[in-house]
């Protein structure tokens, strides 16, 4: 059973999330502040749902603390929807960022997307709709047919599909695209690469443009 740690100081929201996720078969343990979150955190936790505003500090601080200890997925839950806040959370390694108010079905979908991405990454086969990447072969395919990609296009697709369902800021993508020889990839190059990748995949709808922030890959 997947164990989820919920760090949320609003009792009503916490109760609703716990009740809904338990019905879906998740084990949910919850707390109201960072101190208790640190005490409850362990290697058995599969995913963390984290409020950004906590009584004893910021969710950013707790996220950083978690990421120093491993790669446990973190989804922020917050009323703050500024692009700067979202970018900051994603830059620190958060897997998704959901603004309040949100519907429980949307939350459940985002949780499934994050857990599915992690599972597929471990197997070496990544997928999004009809698009697949075989990491062992370093080969991408769409609708069952192999696609010829440049090194930059392949690495870009890999970054997007490894983070399927998550918003990736442009600056974060650019940092990840620097190759081993530190050849610089600029903003214009990224725009062109996204355009060409969409054309080769023959399905532009799978790569969503998040205005003012970056991109998110999702099942069409």
Q: How far is it, in rounded angstroms, from Cα 110 to Cα 104?
A: 10
Q: What share of the chain is helix, strand, coil (3-state, %, to 5)?
A: 45, 25, 30
Q: Would you put residue 59 in left (φ > 0), alpha (ψ -120 to 50) or beta? A: alpha
Q: What is the pLDDT of residue 194?
A: 94
Q: What is the pLDDT of residue 185?
A: 73
Cβ-contact 50, 7 below 8 angstroms: yes
Report which secondary-structure segment, H or E, holds 47.
Answer: strand 47-51
CA-based end-to-end distance of the chain: 29
DSSP string, 123-137: HTEEEETTEEEETTT
My answer on whether omega of the bond before 101 falls inside 30° of 0, hence cis, is yes
Q: What structural domains does the chain harbor? A: 3-119 (3.40.50.2300), 124-217 (1.10.10.10)
Q: What is the pLDDT of residue 179?
A: 54
Low-confidence ranges of the chain (pLDDT < 50): 180-181
| Pairing status of strand 168-169 against strand 145-147 | unpaired
Q: What is the DSSP letter of 68?
A: T
Q: What is the pLDDT of residue 181?
A: 45
Q: How far is it, in rounded angstroms, from Cα 69 to Cα 132?
A: 30
133 burial (CB, 10 Å; 0-12 / 13-18 / 19+) is buried
DSSP string, 134-172: ETTTTEEEETTEEE---HHHHHHHHHHHHTTTS-EEHHH
Q: How far is it, in rounded angstroms, from Cα 31 to Cα 126?
A: 34
158 burial (CB, 10 Å; 0-12 / 13-18 / 19+) is middle
Backbone phi, psi, residue 125, to 5°: -115, 120
Tens of pLDDT, residues 54-84 = 999 999 999 999 988 877 899 999 888 788 8
Q: What is the pLDDT of residue 119?
A: 63
């Amino acid at each position: 059973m997947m164990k989820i740690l919920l760090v949320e100081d609003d009792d009503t929201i916490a109760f609703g999330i716990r009740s809904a996720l338990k019905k879906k078969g998740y084990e949910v343990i919850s707390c109201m502040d960072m101190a208790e979150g640190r005490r409850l955190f362990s290697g058995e936790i599969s995913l963390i749902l984290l409020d950004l505003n906590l009584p004893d500090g910021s969710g950013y601080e707790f996220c950083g603390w978690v990421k120093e200890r491993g790669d446990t997925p973190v989804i922020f839950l917050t009323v703050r929807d500024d692009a700067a806040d979202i970018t900051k959370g994603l830059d620190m390694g958060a897997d998704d960022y959901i603004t309040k108010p949100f519907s429980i079905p949307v939350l459940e979908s985002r949780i499934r997307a994050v857990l599915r991405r992690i599972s597929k990454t471990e197997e070496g086969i990544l997928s999004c709709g009809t698009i697949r990447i075989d990491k062992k072969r370093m080969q991408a395919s769409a609708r069952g047919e192999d696609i010829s990609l440049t090194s930059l296009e392949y690495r870009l697709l890999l970054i997007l599909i490894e983070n399927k369902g998550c918003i990736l800021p442009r600056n974060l993508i650019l940092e990840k695209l620097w190759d081993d020889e530190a050849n610089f990839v600029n903003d214009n190059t990224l725009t062109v690469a996204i355009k060409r990748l969409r054309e080769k995949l023959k399905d532009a709808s799978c790569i969503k443009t998040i205005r003012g922030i970056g991109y998110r890959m999702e099942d069409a």
